[in-house]
Structure 1
Amino acid sequence: MDKRVETGREFWRAVLLAGGATAIPRWTLDPAAGVAEHVATLDDDLAAAVRRLADRSELPLHSVALAAHAKVLAALSGEQDVVTGYAAAPCGRPLPCPLTTEGLSWRSLLQDTARVESDLLQHKDFAVDELELELGVAGPAFETEFDPIGSLAAGGEINTDLAEYAVLRVALANPGGRLALHLRYRTDALDAGSAERMAGYHLTALALMVADPGAEHGRASLLSDEELRFQLDRLAGPRRPLPDRRFHELFEQRVRMHPDAVAAVHRDRQWTYRELNAHANRLSRALLARGLRREGVVAVVTARNLDWMAAVIAIFKAGGAYLPIEPHFPADRIATTLARAECTLVLTELGSTTMLDKALDTLPGVQKINIEEACAEGHADDDLGVAVAADQLAYIYFTSGSTGEPKGAMCEHAGMLNHLYAKIDDLGVGPAHGAPVVAQTAPQCFDISLWQLVSALLVGGRTLIVEQQVILDVARYVDTIVRGRVGILQVVPSYLEVVLTYLEQHPRKLPDLRCVSATGEALKKELVQRWFGLHPEIRLVNAYGLTETSDDTNHEIMTRVPDSDRIPLGPPIHNVHVYVVDEHLSPVPLGAPGEIVFSGVCVGRGYVNDPERTRRAFMADPHRPGQRLYRGGDHGRWLPGGRLEFLGRRDTQVKIRGFRIEIGEIENALLRVPGVRDGAVVVAERADQGKHLVAFYSGERPVEVDVLRDRLGASLPEYMVPSAFHWRDGLPLTANSKIDRKALTTPAAELDAVDVSSEAPSTPTERRLAGAWAQVLGMREDQIGRRDHFFELGGTSLSAVKLAIALNRAVSLEDIAEHPVLANMAELLHREHAPELLTSSSGGN
């Protein structure tokens, strides 16, 4: 073989096997088939400087332009390594041109680009098509193309024809002696404004490069001042003045306005505004009498009931900070939480102290206060008038940490109040619709429980606390919502699907319900379609936010099914700033992927007594002096119209065969497949195949693999379709009911390995119960031992609900909390219920 041919073969073999394609953002509100053109002429000074840099570097002009093109593609894709099509000949097929922006300086970027371009041109005549067939790789489908010579077509016009798969073609031309960039773009993907911005990015890159070739380019922003101000200001939530009062003071105003109106209902009990306020005032004085100081942390360990509500308000009135703990949490977790928060006071009740008492055995300095007894101590029940500042600590919610150790997010009164008013405004909790009823359904440990508990009290409405036993039975749940005249409801999408399925089978009017908010999980478009097909008159809101940002920061308010494939997160709520940024916290181009960060009143104070993790996530906002900024690790992009789209977490991005792959995008596509309830995609690695994608999903029954591949292949490129699909009854969950991907990363060949490290269930009841645990926790049955603890295996209040359903309600939530060890729970079942109850466990409602 001729040496030149052999060298060319090796060059293109390496390029083709590395693969890769760089996508650019779509940005148009009015997509229409067609092609348009934008011309950006370099001003005389810039053109002269570009020529001087090319002369000094002994490079052609198009090498300088290609280096700028590489920088633009890196900014648009969020990747250092990019691939564009290179038009080496006027009429030939563009060749794959892999470029890197890893070099620190503009000069090194230019040199790296020129080296790649030189190698490509040296081998441009090689038969690349034949090598693709030999290697069995698909031909590249470039979204962008670079024309280095600006070939003149007939009539003297620049030839900027687009290949079938291309979105944008950039040509460097020199008509009439003036340097210009000619952009040709598809109008179903880009509008004129976005094409103009992309041309501007190229011009800015050229200007920065020639101004100081030795400067570091990584921190250089390509955004114009106009686009920067647009992202920082016009994409922020609207300004809304907040009262210079704290939540509890505004509640006290409502008490004076209508003291005898019903404030809260639980089971057959109800309290008026006067009664709720009096209970809270007495309890607040009991806390102060026990030495509670400003921002002192008070834990509440109760069931969800009226005493819980009074306890939360009492803590705010006394100037303390609320710390929720669920009674069934393992004792070690309760002790760790109390110690980390430096909590010395715990409000509790009879029936909620089993685990708490075990925890307090190791914490002698913590006082346990019975709520009923404290309220009977004879304290006055008028308002206290304790001064509480807007920036004072309001609450601490512990969330799971990536290291496995929970972290306590601290949020202030101003952020809490801003979020409450956002819910009032956007969900229609306000008094304009009459006295609203808000359903309180979330467990105490989830931050959404707080707005559900107290938002109605700001507008003279009513809170209906729906107990877990009702949520277990969807028929009772719907009946409770209707009879309770609930107007505002928030549920996780998986439970919304349960409710929808019931309503489709048992149609029923929901006369008072005016808004349903979905949160906590990805909201599937199929679910939205079903909702509006059944109840088009009831708004649906997709809510997004983080515990560290005082709960939700974005609301996508829907009155119909959105046109987009995914359900957006929506625009920011009032007084909240959301940016999509690069690793240096500079906003990325509109539509480009980046990290979602938050600024403004919503951002909490940090993690309690955890300075290292606080330092990594909370920092000064470089764009707004005096404001805090929070980095949560979520990844997203702006959509036309100012709505945010979630793309996943930054740590779920992987690179396989040269392609940057966002796991969240594949998971979103998987969740859109009918019959798929939950899904997760992980990267597996085997010696014979290298890295590959494996999908796990749950649903009522397995879906045909061909159906899964076809559905994903319809919206994803081939390299993003998993090579294997595994169905499971349920996916493993973390302590916060999120899918535990770490438990799914073992290669498929190892998933059948048996863990015999624990004592296996020994009786028929224990074995049947282990099967139910495995179904709910997303584990293999052989991984569960008879001495295992339900909550220590990752069980939560939500999974306890699912377990009770799986056991045909043979056990209650209280039974699970009091008998969390498998052997003990099995003994309870065997003693109090016929074992046959377990034999037909099928998931129930």
Structure 2
Amino acid sequence: LLEGVVAEPERPIGDFSLVTPKARALLPDPSRPLPPRWAGSVVDRFVEQAARHPEKIAVTAPGESWTYRELDQASAALAYALRRGGVGQGDVVAIEAYRDPRLLVAVLATLRAGGSFLLLDAAYPPEMLAERVAIAAPRAVIRAAKGNRAVIPLPEGSLPFPLGEKEEILALSDGEVLPEILIGPDDLAYLAFTSGSTGRPKGIVGTHRPLSHFFAWYAETFEVGEEDRFSMFSGLSHDPLLRDLFAPLWLGATLVIPDPAEIGTPGYLTRWMLRERITVTHLTPAFARLLEISATAKPQNGNAEPLEELRYAFLSGDVLHPQDVERIRGLAPAVRIVNFYGATETPQGIAAYPVPEEIGENPAAIPIGRGIEGVDLLVLTKNDALAAPGEIGEICVRTPYLTRGYLGDESLTREKFRPNPFTNLPDDRIYHTGDLGYYDWTGNVVFLGRRDDQVKIRGFRIELDEIRRVLRRHPAIHDVEIVLDAAPSGENRLLAYYVAEHVLPLAQLRSFLAPKLPDYMIPSRFVHLDAFPLTPNGKIDRKALPRPDAHLGGAAPFMPPRTPYEEALTEIWREILDTEKIGIHDNFFELGGHSLLATQLFGRIRETFQVELSIRAIFEAPT
């Protein structure tokens, strides 16, 4: 740096590079050629696996299993029906998603018909589903479960395809067979939505090349194969779900689906993984904590068994901490842990860090690693120069395997997907993630946080403005501020501050939001203010916002515990909900409770009272 300053004393100090020759050898070369490769589509690979071992179980769920032959025939029959119904190349097909083998049938059929799938979690609020369907304008809507009532509104001109028993799906083709559509690398494969900074969800358009590139790399890099059994834990509208669905099909392995009604029941998950002999799992750090809670719900006859057969745990979606690694290794002594990094705009994982046996002394977080094959993971300064080790910059992704960009928003696409300043070639793009990080002295990238208003809750990406926009629609609310807060447990949670003429009942606020936002976007605490504190320049002074009140109960009057049992229960509630004052009529969900915390609650109840309760009990009796 000093040599550069002496040589060019008139040059702005921010233009000088801190990258030394020694450091440069550790860092990626952003000007090297990155030619794309094409390994064929995920559908092509699935068809090959179905031909190789047709009678092997492809997917199993409570009460039913599907072989590769059955999955091949059913998806081909549904693809025939979709094409006959008018679905053409690139048309969007909305899939009402459930944890059900028919989800695989629907996804494969959409791709075989030449369409692009849009996964919509059937448990999401109706207004959110309706908004996304209106933006996507799907040509058809598939309900990927038998016997369920349709929850996605059918747009005008769209065709409904409810899926029933295997025989009913096979009958959709009337015995006819259409030739397979030739899928190209740049053909549309899917549409995915993320939270938008304008309050309107962003549609991201993905193609086939990034999907097949990731799974080809995955199969070549890790010791996984057709004997493996994969869990299905990812959220149904969360893009990591594609790893759950396609990784086993690419390998000729088996996907195992847990009972969705039992996932939150203490002890279920680890017992299920043992029973089903799960060898590979993809999960978020928050879900890893759920597994630990499940494991602590010991069976009546002794300690929970370790997950001896679990060989790989791939983590993504949020910051991975050393405590998370310890939790997973405590459950599965032989497991290999890999930290993935990516965004919906950079499909699947575009960086990976195999976590070593020895993590080192007190790292704040596990690194996100380096770019996978065909990817440069760059940390750039504000002048678009490569940052030196230890120098904080924006994490950017250079690869030919990016998505196309944002549906109907060329301006945002140009802002986030920019030409590579190191080559200035038109097809050489860099995606600017908005994440901050730095290179360590091994060349791995360490994630630090966001440079904008985007946050992560339980692995889900959220733009706070989307929550603000919905709350401002409440007729009694004049203004809103949403902030991210860390609970003593370390879990992120949302606080909502609102300006209104009087305090609004918690039940009313939550019921207003419930049809419009999924549970992970509903704030844990609501704080009434007469006016926001302001900085000298007139902006909201977030540092001056008050902490939530000690008692945040609902409409019922506060009533303290009256018996030793109630005292013990309220003490458990206080610790889990981080609320000092709990009344016996307070509602668990109105105090910020959610499914993950409910699992912790029932684990503690079992430990304290030696009784088994179904997780459904908290929904039926939430006080």
TM-score (norm 1): 0.55
TM-aligned CA deviation for residue 381 of structure 1: 7.0
Equivalent-residue separation in structure 2 for 1:749 and 1:235 (angstroms)? 49
- The residue that corresponds to 2:498 in the other structure is none
**Which 10-residue stretch deviates more, 244-253 or 610-619?**
610-619
Equivalent-residue separation in structure 1 for 2:204 and 2:246 (angstroms)? 20
Q: 2:413 aligns to what SS in structure 1?
A: helix
Q: 1:249 aligns to what SS in structure 2?
A: helix
**1:298-377 maps to which residues of 2 (within 5 A)?**
298-348=93-143, 349=145, 351-356=147-152, 359-360=153-154, 363-372=155-164, 375-377=170-172
TM-aligned CA deviation for residue 589 of structure 1: 1.9
**1:45-84 maps to which residues of 2 (within 5 A)?**
none
- The residue that corresponds to 1:602 in the other structure is 401
Equivalent-residue separation in structure 2 for 1:451 and 1:369 (angstroms)? 25
In 1, are the aligned partners of 2:290 and 2:599 still within 8 Å (CA)? no
Greater relative contact order: 1 or 2 (C-alpha under 8 angstroms, separation 6 or more)?
Answer: 2
Residue 207 (str. 1) matches residue 7 (str. 2)? yes
Equivalent-residue separation in structure 1 for 2:101 and 2:220 (angstroms)? 25
Residue 645 (str. 1) matches residue 442 (str. 2)? no
* Deviations, residues 426-447 of structure 1 (Å, cap 9, x unaligned): 453235xxx1111111121111
Equivalent-residue separation in structure 2 for 1:700 and 1:636 (angstroms)? 20
Equivalent-residue separation in structure 1 for 2:434 and 2:490 (angstroms)? 32
- The residue that corresponds to 2:373 in the other structure is 574
In 2, are the aligned partners of 1:619 and 1:628 still within 8 Å (CA)? yes
- The residue that corresponds to 1:105 in the other structure is none
Which protein has the larger Cα radius of gyration, Structure 1 or Structure 2?
1
**1:601-680 maps to which residues of 2 (within 5 A)?**
601-624=400-423, 625=425, 626-651=427-452
- The residue that corresponds to 1:811 in the other structure is 616
In 2, are the aligned partners of 1:399 and 1:736 still within 8 Å (CA)? no
**1:542-553 maps to which residues of 2 (within 5 A)?**
542-553=339-350
* Deviations, residues 162-182 of structure 1 (Å, cap 9, x unaligned): xxxxxxxxxxxxxxxxxxxxx
More helix by share: 1
* Deviations, residues 92-113 of structure 1 (Å, cap 9, x unaligned): xxxxxxxxxxxxxxxxxxxxxx
Residue 471 (str. 1) matches residue 263 (str. 2)? yes
Residue 446 (str. 1) matches residue 233 (str. 2)? no
- The residue that corresponds to 1:513 in the other structure is 310
- The residue that corresponds to 2:507 in the other structure is none
The one-letter code of the counterpart of 2:4 is: T
Q: 1:233 aligns to what SS in structure 2?
A: coil
Change (3 A) 1:618 1:498: same
Change (3 A) 1:380 1:780: farther
TM-aligned CA deviation for residue 533 of structure 1: 5.3
Equivalent-residue separation in structure 2 for 1:779 and 1:252 (angstroms)? 54
Q: 2:200 aligns to what SS in structure 1?
A: coil
Q: 2:246 aligns to what SS in structure 1?
A: helix
Equivalent-residue separation in structure 2 for 1:589 and 1:754 (angstroms)? 48
In 2, are the aligned partners of 1:438 and 1:464 still within 8 Å (CA)? yes
In 1, are the aligned partners of 2:58 and 2:249 still within 8 Å (CA)? yes
Residue 557 (str. 1) matches residue 557 (str. 2)? no
Change (3 A) 1:330 1:500: closer
The one-letter code of the counterpart of 2:224 is: V
In 2, are the aligned partners of 1:309 and 1:453 still within 8 Å (CA)? yes
- The residue that corresponds to 1:290 in the other structure is 85
TM-aligned CA deviation for residue 489 of structure 1: 1.1
* Deviations, residues 746-790 of structure 1 (Å, cap 9, x unaligned): 74536339999xx946999xxx9xx999999999999xxx9x9x8
TM-aligned CA deviation for residue 497 of structure 1: 2.9
TM-aligned CA deviation for residue 574 of structure 1: 1.6
In 2, are the aligned partners of 1:278 and 1:382 still within 8 Å (CA)? no
Change (3 A) 1:519 1:321: same
Equivalent-residue separation in structure 2 for 1:773 and 1:270 (angstroms)? 40
* Deviations, residues 64-87 of structure 1 (Å, cap 9, x unaligned): xxxxxxxxxxxxxxxxxxxxxxxx
Residue 749 (str. 1) matches residue 546 (str. 2)? yes
Change (3 A) 1:534 1:341: closer
The one-letter code of the counterpart of 1:811 is: R
Residue 233 (str. 1) matches residue 34 (str. 2)? no
- The residue that corresponds to 1:143 in the other structure is none
TM-aligned CA deviation for residue 508 of structure 1: 1.4
- The residue that corresponds to 1:587 in the other structure is 386
Change (3 A) 1:224 1:332: same
Equivalent-residue separation in structure 2 for 1:302 and 1:530 (angstroms)? 30
TM-aligned CA deviation for residue 548 of structure 1: 1.1
Equivalent-residue separation in structure 1 for 2:205 and 2:149 (angstroms)? 25
**1:15-30 maps to which residues of 2 (within 5 A)?**
none
The one-letter code of the counterpart of 1:644 is: V
In 2, are the aligned partners of 1:581 and 1:597 still within 8 Å (CA)? yes
TM-score (norm 2): 0.73
In 2, are the aligned partners of 1:281 and 1:384 still within 8 Å (CA)? no
Aligned residues: 525
In 1, are the aligned partners of 2:73 and 2:170 still within 8 Å (CA)? no
Say what the alpha-carbon RMSD is for the aligned residues: 4.4
Structure 2 unaligned residues grouped into runs of 5+: 458-482, 492-512, 528-541, 560-565, 603-612
**1:705-744 maps to which residues of 2 (within 5 A)?**
735=518, 737=520
